[in-house]
Amino acid sequence: MRLSFSLLVGALIAGVSASNVQELTPDNFDSVVGHVPAFVEFFAPWCGHCKNLAPVWEQLANVFEHAKDKVVIAKVDADGVGRPLGERYGVTGFPTLKYFDAKGVETKYEEGRDLETLVAYVTKMTGVKSKLPTKPPSLVKKVDVSNFNDVVLDSAKNVFITYTAPWCGHCKNLKPTWEKLAQWFEPESNCIVANMNADDERNKPLAQKEGVNSYPTIKFYGSDNQAEDYSGPRGEADLVKFLNSKCGTFRAVGGGLNSKAGRVPELDAIATQFVAASKDVRKKLLDEASAIASKAGAAGKHYIRAMEKVVTGTEGYIEKEAKRLGSILAKKNLSEKKLDELKVKANILKSFTDKPKEKKEDESVGREKAEL
């Protein structure tokens, strides 16, 4: 049975009975720092952000428990017994995170405070690999002050971006949905799902310039590079619907294309008449469809192929082909690109079996009066 990433992390943490975060005070600080690499949190017991970070810091220590001789995850009560250490290292706000190499040289940490980012930082600084279960790489485009213009202000792209802060509860709740959105829209090269850590000191001025004053702030940037605030619902279906409307795409919740992908209204109108029509009428409808299909791109060819099959005597082609495609799509064992191609074909074949829309009564009456 496969366990989810979160369950594996939970199981790993549950197996640890005592805290692996080393508490440092003025009495033992110098016997640790300067002898082995150490990642230290300077905190205050009353600090809300510190309380939010505490369970993550415990998790960080747990996944590096096997390498305590190579890296120490520690904390200092810089508003209590460890106040002299806070003053010694210029701590003016809580929490302050500092990395000390084996010689005691300090580096202030200014990146995200989620577990994955903290783990990656420790590994980068020490070369020590954690026991955190491997997680698939994120498809959310990371944006910061260095690449904002190239990514967000690229007029060839549509960008849907969240401005977040690592400590923000609502941001954490939105993150899994945002990851899914990025995965579902990954095949659309002109539609980018992005994120910026707007609480990072390097990004704050830019975020403020973009009108970010709360977290999460969600904005859409189209080809005109003008920011549009998104204040709608944050459910998966709502976000997919919004992004489809802005990008001109047909993505579905859960991945793949929706039932509208590839459909051409003018050709749909002909297709609904085609199957029930006589042979002579079918030929006329094919000619009419061919004229429209020449301007409809690749999708138009699928309508014409289906009609030609029926006109040349392959009865039952539409039903058999639709069933075959449905079976392949249900297995989902092909590439994303191939599944999209087959979904478009299946959607178009369905247009031949859809019932014609009934005319509204007032429209029929109006037409009859006009004929009189």
**Catalytic residue IDs:** 47, 50, 168, 171
Q: Virtual CA dihedral for 50, 118, 4, 195, nearest 10 degrees? A: 90
Instruction: Give the number of C-alpha atoms closer than 13 A to the C-alpha of residue 12, restricted to the C-beta side.
Output: 22
Going by their DSSP bridges, the two strands 96-100 and 141-143 should be labelled as unpaired
Q: Please give the distance of CA 290 from its chain centroid, rounded to a whole number.
A: 40
Q: Please give the distance of CA 73 from its chain centroid, rounded to a whole number.
A: 31
What is 39-62 written as a DSSP string? EEEEE-TT-HHHHHHHHHHHHHHH
* 3 state SS of 218: strand
Instruction: Give the number of C-alpha atoms closer than 13 A to the C-alpha of residue 275, restricted to the C-beta side.
Output: 19
CB atoms within 10 A of CB 255: 15
* CA 67 – CA 131 distance, rounded (Å): 10
Phi, psi of 97 (to 5 degrees): -110, 130
For residue 267, give the H/E element and its range. helix 265-274
* Residues with Cβ within 8 Å of residue 270, at least 6 apart in sequence: 285, 288, 289, 292, 303
CB atoms within 10 A of CB 152: 21
